[in-house]
């Protein structure tokens, strides 16, 4: 990828940070499912937590390409930290920065950009995942507050977050959904069950429970029923940056397995001499490079206001499946050692798998792509 000097510097700064601060504890955090809040404060000190937020609110005023560079560098060292960072900086902070009012931005963004507060986003519910407009959490206006009732699930940073951008139904029409800014101290808000996962184990995931949760009416983002617009405006950058994490995981897996294949000897020579091992190495590299090219192409489209759901979905599905495949190949290259916890490649594979599920599954990405490409056949068809 051809980056500008500033982009090269950003990548190097984050890579050095990740090597120094994230690498040493990555395996332990994964094993113990532990989240290190201090790391978040350090990400804030580096100016990364509000990477796309204008400087007047405490952000760095950078773009989707910069955010994708950061995701790849963090993802290559500790994908869990990268996921929690994505939930904070893209799903919550970027969304608020794009859709929030002046007062809302002034009130919340500085704390979120510094790392004083951790953010998350609550959309998914037990009965509404891919079918997100099927959500049941309700918001009813009572005087100066909205009363929220319902449960969100799979919420990244759920148990450690101070602030959540949440979606709730405000009427019976399918798209009658409002976006609400919820502080963890609000009456009627609590964190529910913590979920134990296959991968991304150092990124806490939990339920959020709303029981007559009192949200001040000033914390409605925009107007009632505008949520679909908020979601849509954020989707492209979310999917491109999540592809950045996939690329980071793949890079870590291929770097590790390439090196291993030069050191591990069988039949009196390094295993890298064997052509079937070379095939995996060549496939890993070419698929990673193709994914990276597509990802930064999409990031540039987003930066040039030319992003589309089609391209973001194509980028996300390709990068996610590439990362799982590269990580599986890396395990294969390491043989039995790849299957043990002595080496990090099994973690890479467990972390990569989430990329095919979170922020829209690979099946949903393919629906979006096919719907766009085939719309001339039948634009009325309800996928």
Q: Among residues 18, 26, 121, 220, which is the contact residue for ligand FAD, using CB under 6 A?
A: 121
User: Quick check: 228 binds ligand FAD (CB under 6 A)?
Assistant: no
156 binds ligand FAD (CB under 6 A): yes
Closer residue to ligand FAD, CB minimum distance, 79 or 302: 79
Contact between 93 and ligand FAD by CB under 6 A: the answer reads: no
Residue 358 engages ligand FAD in binding (rule: CB under 6 A): yes
Point out the catalytic residue in the list 21, 214, 238, 356.
238
Query: Measured from the CB atom, is 190 or 278 closer to ligand FAD?
Result: 190
Exactly one of 53, 112, 123, 313 binds ligand FAD (CB under 6 A); which one?
123
For the bound state, the minimum distance from the C-beta of residue 131 to ligand FAD, rounded and expressed in Å, comes to: 6
Of the pair 41, 367, the CB lying nearest ligand FAD is at: 367
Nearer to ligand FAD, 124 or 257 (CB): 124
Spatial separation of the C-alpha atoms in residues 135 and 100, rounded to whole Å: 22
238 is catalytic: yes
Which structure tokens are listed for 229? Answer: 């617009």
Would you count residue 200 as binding ligand FAD (CB under 6 A)?
A: yes
Residues 335-354: x/- map of binding to ligand FAD (CB under 6 A)? -------------------x
**Residues with catalytic roles:** 238
**Footprint of ligand FAD (CB under 6 A):** 87, 91, 120-124, 129-130, 154-156, 197, 200, 205, 354, 357-361, 363-364, 367
């Amino acid at each position: 990828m051809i980056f500008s000097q500033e982009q090269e510097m950003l990548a190097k700064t984050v890579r050095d940070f990740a090597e120094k601060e994230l690498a040493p504890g990555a395996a332990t955090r994964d094993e113990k499912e532990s989240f290190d809040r201090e790391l978040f404060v350090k990400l804030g000190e580096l100016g990364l937590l509000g990477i796309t937020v204008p400087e007047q609110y405490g952000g760095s005023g950078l773009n989707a390409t910069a955010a994708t560079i950061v995701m790849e560098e963090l993802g290559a060292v500790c994908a869990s930290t990268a996921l929690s960072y994505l939930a904070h900086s893209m799903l919550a902070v970027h969304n608020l920065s794009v859709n929030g009012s002046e007062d809302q931005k002034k009130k919340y963004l500085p704390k979120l950009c510094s790392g004083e507060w951790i953010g998350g986003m609550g959309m998914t519910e037990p009965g509404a995942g891919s079918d997100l407009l099927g959500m049941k959490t309700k918001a009813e206006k009572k005087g100066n507050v909205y009363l929220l009732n319902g449960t969100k699930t799979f919420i990244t940073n759920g148990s450690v977050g101070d602030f959540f951008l949440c979606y709730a139904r405000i009427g019976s029409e399918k798209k009658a959904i409002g976006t609400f800014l919820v502080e963890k101290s609000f009456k009627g808000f609590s964190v529910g069950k913590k979920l134990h996962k296959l991968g991304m184990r150092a990124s806490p995931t939990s339920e959020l429970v709303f029981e007559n949760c009192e949200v001040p009416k000033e914390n409605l983002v925009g107007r009632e029923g505008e949520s679909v617009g908020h979601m849509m405006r954020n989707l492209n950058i979310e999917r491109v940056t999540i592809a950045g994490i996939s690329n980071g995981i793949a890079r870590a897996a291929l770097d590790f397995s390439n090196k291993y294949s030069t050191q591990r000897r069988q039949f009196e020579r390094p295993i890298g001499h064997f052509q079937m091992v070379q095939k995996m190495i060549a496939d890993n590299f070419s698929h990673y490079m193709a994914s990276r090219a597509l990802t930064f192409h999409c990031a540039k489209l987003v930066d040039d206001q030319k992003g589309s759901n089609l391209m973001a979905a194509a980028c996300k599905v390709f990068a996610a499946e590439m990362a799982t495949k590269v990580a599986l190949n890396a395990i294969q290259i390491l043989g039995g050692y790849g299957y043990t916890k002595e080496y990090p490649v099994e973690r890479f594979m467990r972390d990569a798998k989430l990329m095919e599920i979170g922020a829209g599954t690979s099946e949903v990405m393919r629906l979006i792509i096919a719907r766009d490409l085939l719309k001339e056949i039948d634009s009325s068809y309800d996928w």
